[in-house]
Amino acid sequence: MKLNSDDQTLAESKILLLYILSKVGKSISHNELLELVTSIVDMNYFYFEQFLLDLLEDNYIFKYKKENTDIYEITEDGKNAINLTIDIIPGILKLQVDSKFKENLDTVKDKFSISAEYTPITKKEFSVRCKIVENNITIFDLQAHAGSREQAKQIVENWNNKATEMYPKLLEILVND
């Protein structure tokens, strides 16, 4: 996407972002929205951020924090704007969004539902946090201590690759007498 001073291009991009948010139909994190939008249309990060800020300032979208994550939702004004301006989006672009939307939304949701990260406590000690989030609700959150950077990296890698196997086992251990 090339951005120039063409008001039509700017409006089209903002409406496209609103259209994608309206198709999501519920709140979505910043990272999920960025991943979804860039997987559907050719939009770079800086344009995405500028359009998001513009839509926030115009009260077409709403932002709030949840567990230190920015969450976005379309507002009633945003829904009204979509209804009034949907014709700005070229038919071929709308068709592209509609055809890629469901598959890409599921992929993005799966990608962001399992996460792990580590943060240093000291030079040799690290805190590792492993999470599973479904529909913006944390269903599993585990924080552990790692004695080295390598151990922390291994925990993160194992969680990201094997959480679907590990979670049921951990849950079973936790609920059994």
Is the sign of the CA dihedral 139, 140, 143, 149 positive or negative? negative
CA dist., res. 122 & res. 137, Å (int): 31
Q: How far apart are CA 148 and CA 128, in angstroms?
A: 11
* Residue tagged 């000690």 (tokens): 125
pTM: 0.58
For 7-112, CATH gives 1.10.10.10
pLDDT for res 6 = 59
Where do the structural domains in the chain lie, given as residue ranges?
A: 7-112, 113-175
Mean pLDDT of 102-126: 78
- For the residues 79-93, what does the mean pLDDT come to? 85
- Decide if pLDDT at 162 tops 80: yes
Structure confidence at residue 3 (pLDDT): 45
pLDDT value, residue 61: 94
Which are the contacts of 165, defined by CB distance < 8 A and separation ≥ 6? none
**Lowest-pLDDT choice from 8-22, 67-81, 106-120, 155-169:** 106-120
Which of 10-19, 95-104, 128-137 is predicted with the least confidence, judged by mean pLDDT? 95-104
126-134/69-74 β-pairing: unpaired
The lowest-confidence range among 15-24, 30-39, 66-75, 94-103 is 94-103
Q: What is the mean pLDDT of residues 120-142?
A: 86
Write down the pLDDT at residue 112: 61
As a whole number, mean pLDDT of residues 104-132 equals 81
CATH topology of domain 113-175: Double Stranded RNA Binding Domain (3.30.160)
Average pLDDT over residues 66-95: 85
pLDDT, the chain, mean: 83
Between 15-19, 27-31, 33-37, 96-100, the lowest mean confidence (pLDDT) is in 96-100
Mean pLDDT over 148-159 rounds to: 92
For 74, phi and psi rounded to 5 degrees?
Answer: -80, 140
- In this prediction, residues 87-98 reach a mean pLDDT of 81
* Contact predicate 34/72, CB 8 Å: no
Residue 127: the pLDDT is 93
Q: Which among 145, 125, 147, 138 is positioned nearest to 167, based on CA atoms?
A: 138
- Can you tell me the distance from the alpha carbon of 116 to that of 131, in angstroms, rounded to the nearest whole number? 6
Tell me the torsion sign for CA atoms 10, 13, 15, 18: negative
